[in-house]
């Protein structure tokens, strides 16, 4: 069985096909732990943003909503390591390379790495009308550790 968990950063980087990128300083206030962002070469005038987001072990983003009047949402394509995705009111879902998560607009959720693994996913912003990201409260340490 293939190992999808990586505590060692250099071992993880060997399988992180899109690369870690730079520290995610613009959004650091919405994350617990360190995350990194690598834009995937989508031209500025193209309506779809695509980014490889890398989370160190234990890192996760706050609860948030991809708000849209119509369309919108986000698509996650898991590429390396092991992580979590959770929608409000539902059980958390384990994520591994090859998993895809279609996040509808206006759904409260969070995602990030497991405690014992680096994790990367490609995040694709779905175009829509009157879209914006609404950042909310942190995922508590107690809730995270109970997964």
Percent of the chain with pLDDT over 90: 91
Model pLDDT, residue 2: 62
Taking residues 127-141, report their average pLDDT. Answer: 95
Tokens, residue 102: 């279609």
Tokens, residue 110: 């969070």
Q: In whole angstroms, what is the distance from residue 106 CA to residue 91 CA? A: 18
Confidence of residue 109 (pLDDT cuts 50, 70, 90): very high
Taking residues 109-115, report their average pLDDT. Answer: 98
Residue with the larger pLDDT of the pair 2 and 36? 36
Taking residues 5-28, report their average pLDDT. Answer: 96
Residue 121 phi/psi, 5-degree rounding, is -140, 150
Cα dist from 61 to 37, 47, 53, 126, whole Å: 13, 24, 11, 19
Cα dist from 79 to 13, 51, 53, 91, 105, whole Å: 11, 12, 10, 22, 23
pLDDT, tens digit, 9 for 90 and up, residues 24-69: 999 999 999 999 999 998 767 777 889 999 999 999 999 999 999 9
Question: What domains does the chain contain, in order, with CATH numbers?
Answer: 9-145 (2.60.120.10)
Percent of the chain with pLDDT over 70: 97
pTM over the 0.85 mark: yes
Model pLDDT, residue 116: 97
The DSSP string of 71-136 is E--EEEEEEEE-EEEEETTS--EEE-TT-EEEE-TT--EEEEE-TT--EEEEEEEPPEES-EEEE-
Confidence of residue 1 (pLDDT cuts 50, 70, 90): very low
Taking residues 10-22, report their average pLDDT. Answer: 96
Model pLDDT, residue 46: 74
């Amino acid at each position: 069985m293939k190992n999808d968990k990586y505590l060692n950063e250099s071992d993880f980087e060997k399988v992180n096909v899109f690369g870690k990128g730079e520290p995610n300083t613009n959004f650091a206030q919405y994350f617990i732990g360190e995350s990194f962002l690598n834009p995937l070469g989508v031209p500025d005038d193209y309506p779809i943003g695509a980014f490889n987001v890398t989370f160190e072990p234990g890192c996760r983003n706050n609860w948030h909503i991809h708000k849209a009047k119509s369309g919108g949402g986000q698509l996650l394509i898991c590429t390396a390591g092991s992580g979590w995705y959770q929608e409000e009111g539902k059980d958390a879902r384990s994520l591994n390379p090859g998993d895809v998560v279609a996040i509808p607009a206006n759904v409260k959720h969070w995602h990030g790495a497991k405690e014992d693994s680096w994790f990367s996913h490609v995040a694709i912003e779905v175009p829509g009308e009157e879209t914006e990201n609404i950042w909310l409260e942190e995922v508590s340490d107690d809730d995270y550790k109970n997964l």
